[in-house]
Amino acid sequence: MDDYDRRQFLRTTVPGFLGVLLALPSLSAAATKANANKGRPAKDGAMNWDAFLTSVAEESAKQHLDHWNQEDYLKKISALALRLNREDPLLQKGFAQIKTRLEKGNVDFEYLEKRLDFAICLVQFEKNQTISAHDHPGMTGMILCASGKIHTRNYDLVSETSIALADGKSETRCVLKQSAEQTLLPNQITTLTSQARNIHNLKAEEITQLIDIFTPPYNDQRAKDSRWFNIDPAAQPGTKDLFDALVTK
Ligand SMILES: [Fe+2]
């Protein structure tokens, strides 16, 4: 097991993950027992990774149906995420092994699974680290706080205006309505849909680890379409929840 590094673990696929699991003598019996019960350990209802992925895949496939209800979907995968056995040593090791510091606010993240329909990502924040306001075009998101404490604000886009500048360029100014505000503690969840709460920012109040599921995941087009916002700290005069914002990317 010591030969498996972070990249191998975090990027492994379902068969690969089970291969790792079954290679561990200490976990082999538990895995066998769980697989015999469709991946669900019988005692406490916690789901192993395989069962979790299978269930999320089944639910996320419904996004292709005509009348897919995003809020209902988020409730279902939130319930699944709360059942995921996070004490699994392999998942714990995944968090422990997040070391690669990436751009975008010095937030560390790694994909656990990325498919056409959904992606599951581990994200770790240091205390006081932030992700500034950004949107998720055409996507739903479920973010579970696995440990720590993190403050989130969500916004809905109310209007936007393109303004011509003197240098011939233009800028986009928006009005955003704050639609949610939460301080997530372990086992608490925040969600967004393509229509509601789609813009959010996050600030960790402690070292924080998140498990997020985005459906569909970022692809080249969605990454290109995503935007970042510089939101005025004060609400518009006479309002409590309307904020002016400048699109920065
Ligand atoms: Fe986000």
Can you give the pLDDT at residue 2?
A: 31
CA of 162 to the centre of ligand 1 (A): 24
- Which contacts qualify for 98-107: CB closer than 8 Å, 24 or more apart? 98/6, 98/122, 98/124, 99/6, 100/6, 104/131, 105/129, 105/130, 105/131, 105/132, 107/131
CA of 200 to the centre of ligand 1 (A): 6
CA of 39 to the centre of ligand 1 (A): 30
Quickly tell me which residue has 């988020």 as its tokens: 74
User: Which tokens go with 57?
Assistant: 């895949």
Can you give the pLDDT at residue 106?
A: 53
Domains belonging to the chain, first-starting first, are 6-247 (2.60.120.10)
CA of 131 to the centre of ligand 1 (A): 8
H or E stretch at 118: none
User: Which tokens go with 45?
Assistant: 């209802």
Could you read off the pLDDT tens digit of each residue along the chain, which spans 249 residues? Answer: 233 233 333 333 333 333 333 333 333 333 334 443 444 444 567 888 888 989 999 999 999 999 999 999 999 999 999 999 877 766 776 666 665 444 444 567 778 889 999 999 888 888 898 999 999 999 999 999 999 999 999 999 999 999 998 888 899 999 999 999 999 999 999 999 999 999 999 999 998 989 999 999 999 999 999 999 999 999 999 999 999 999 998
What three-state secondary structure class fits 182?
strand
Can you give the pLDDT at residue 175?
A: 98
CA of 247 to the centre of ligand 1 (A): 15
CA of 32 to the centre of ligand 1 (A): 36
Among candidates 66, 30, 62, which has minimal Cα distance to 49?
A: 30
Q: Cα-atom radius of gyration of the chain, to the nearest Å?
A: 20
The span from the CA of 141 to the CA of 55, in Å, is 16
Q: Which runs of E-coded beta strand occur in the chain?
A: 108-114, 119-125, 130-134, 140-147, 150-164, 170-184, 189-192, 199-204, 208-215, 229-231, 242-247
CA of 89 to the centre of ligand 1 (A): 27
CA of 175 to the centre of ligand 1 (A): 19
CA of 28 to the centre of ligand 1 (A): 36
CA of 134 to the centre of ligand 1 (A): 6
The span from the CA of 84 to the CA of 63, in Å, is 22
CA of 65 to the centre of ligand 1 (A): 25
Among candidates 129, 125, 127, 131, which has minimal Cα distance to 146?
A: 125
CA of 198 to the centre of ligand 1 (A): 8
CA of 130 to the centre of ligand 1 (A): 11
CA of 14 to the centre of ligand 1 (A): 25
| Cβ density class 77-113: b for 16+ within 10 Å, e for less | bbebbebbbbebebbeebbebbeeeeeeeebbbbebb
Distance of CA 31 to CAs 2, 48, 224, 232, Å?
19, 8, 40, 51
The span from the CA of 127 to the CA of 144, in Å, is 17
User: Which tokens go with 226?
Assistant: 């995503």
Can you give the pLDDT at residue 176?
A: 98
Q: Is the peptide bond between 216 and the residue preceding it cis, with omega within 30 degrees of 0? A: yes
